[in-house]
Amino acid sequence: MTQPPVPPPLQHQNPPTFAALITQVDPWVIYHFRLTLLSNVHYENQLYGVLTLFFSSIFPMRRHFMVIPQGLLQKVLNADDVEDLADVSFGSAGG
């Protein structure tokens, strides 16, 4: 099997400012992102579309970025809410 051709190297580009990054994100993307965050998300796959859409706005494919979103699925507990630490799982992000 032959390998696909290697893409040409990226051309130098000055990093965009924060303001320039924000202007890259379409208002529809921000609306959909906020709507999803305010909904009662239970499963990671419910976040895939909106996170990929948002991150692809910030990290464009033309710069050879690949977005693989991972979201926290559990709400953070306060120490007072936990009766037995054996019943609590901790993720790599501390949640």
Q: Write the pLDDT tens digit of every residue in 14-44.
A: 888 989 888 889 999 999 888 988 888 777 7
Residue 89 has pLDDT above 70, yes or no: no
Helix runs in the chain, H state only: 18-24, 27-38, 45-58
Segments making up each domain of the chain, as ranges: 17-42
* Cα–Cα separations (whole angstroms), residue 90 to 41, 47, 76, 84, 94: 19, 20, 10, 13, 6
Q: What is the pTM of this model?
A: 0.54
State mean pLDDT over 88-95. 58
